Amino acid sequence: MQKNQTQFAPKSFEDFVISNPRSREKLNDIFNADKPFPGGGKNAICLWGTYGTGKTTLAMELPKLLEESRNMPVIHNSPSILSSSRFWELTKCGEENVTTIIQGLNNRIYQPALSQSGWRYEIFDEIDVIDIKKGQPRLKSAMTHSENTVFIFTTNHPDKLDRGIIDRSHLIEMNQAPVEHMADLAEGWMCAMGLSSGEIDRATLIDMAKESRGSFRYFLPEVQTAVNRYLRTALSNSTN
């Protein structure tokens, strides 16, 4: 991805688009400790929804957000948590076989937590890739017996998840956001690029938002292209 597109990647929780307002409220309740987490038998957060809505990006930020919400300073030398592996682990479920995944997890859950709060964070990206009959029940069992571990899952297919895993998870819906909301975001990006936001008309932004089906992988480059086109035309008009 181009550098000028990554500048608009979400930087704080507010920048993420959580399509379901109830889901955003649920995460805020967790961050504010109105909802004890882990608690009530749940020790996982499962981000589910259609493609490109920011699930993996948010999953990678959740350990830091959860630590900060416990008023624990996040200790690392870099401004980004992505370069620190002190207290979280990422498993790309599509890249390892289930036995390796469960063995690795079982080895880690008995290690002392390295976070300030005493929690460890296990991120499982694309959890539905783990076989629902053979693999997921083993993961469910590990979840039951790991007292200091918070699990964070992402999936496009919540229907392919073991009921026991779902039951242990707070489900956060990240599907296609309202197109008006996405157009508002695009206008914010345009302002950040030094435009006044009217250069690309609202109806065009709404059309792009519809075509994206909620995916920022489609939407952000489309907006960027329209901005580039506008700037190139404006420049050539001014030099003629």
- With contacts defined by CB under 6 A, how many residues of the chain interact with ligand ATP? 19
Residue number, 56 or 215, with CB nearest to Mg ion: 56
Q: Which does 214 bind (CB under 5 to 8 A by kind): ligand ATP, Mg ion, none?
A: none
Residue number, 76 or 217, with CB nearest to ligand ATP: 217
Start-to-end Cα distance in the chain:
33
Interaction residues for ligand ATP, span 218-237 (CB under 6 A): 220
Nearest to 127 by CA among 142, 117, 113, 146: 142
Give the Cα separation of 111 and 187 in Å (integer): 47
Residue number, 18 or 101, with CB nearest to ligand ATP: 18
Residue number, 62 or 220, with CB nearest to ligand ATP: 220
Interacting residues of 212 by C-beta distance below 8 A, sequence separation 6+: 52, 176, 182, 218, 219, 222
Among 20, 56, 148, 215, the residue binding Mg ion under the rule CB under 5 A is 56
Nearest to 148 by CA among 114, 183, 125: 114
50 near Mg ion, rule: CB under 5 A: no
Interaction residues for ligand ATP, span 189-218 (CB under 6 A): 216-217
SS (H, E, C) 181-225: HHHHHHHHHHHHCCCCCCCCCHHHHHHHHHHHCCCHHHHHHHHHH
Find the part of the chain contacting ligand ATP (CB under 6 A) among 54-62, 73-81, 83-91, 108-116.
54-62
Interaction residues for ligand ATP, span 12-31 (CB under 6 A): 15-17
Structural tokens at position 76 = 């690392």
CA distances from 88 to 36, 41, 83, 121, 132 (A): 20, 21, 11, 4, 24
Find the part of the chain contacting Mg ion (CB under 5 A) among 1-9, 40-48, 50-58, 195-203.
50-58
Find the part of the chain contacting ligand ATP (CB under 6 A) among 1-9, 84-92, 159-167, 225-233.
1-9
- With contacts defined by CB under 5 A, how many residues of the chain interact with Mg ion? 2
Where on the chain is the footprint of Mg ion (CB under 5 A)? 55-56
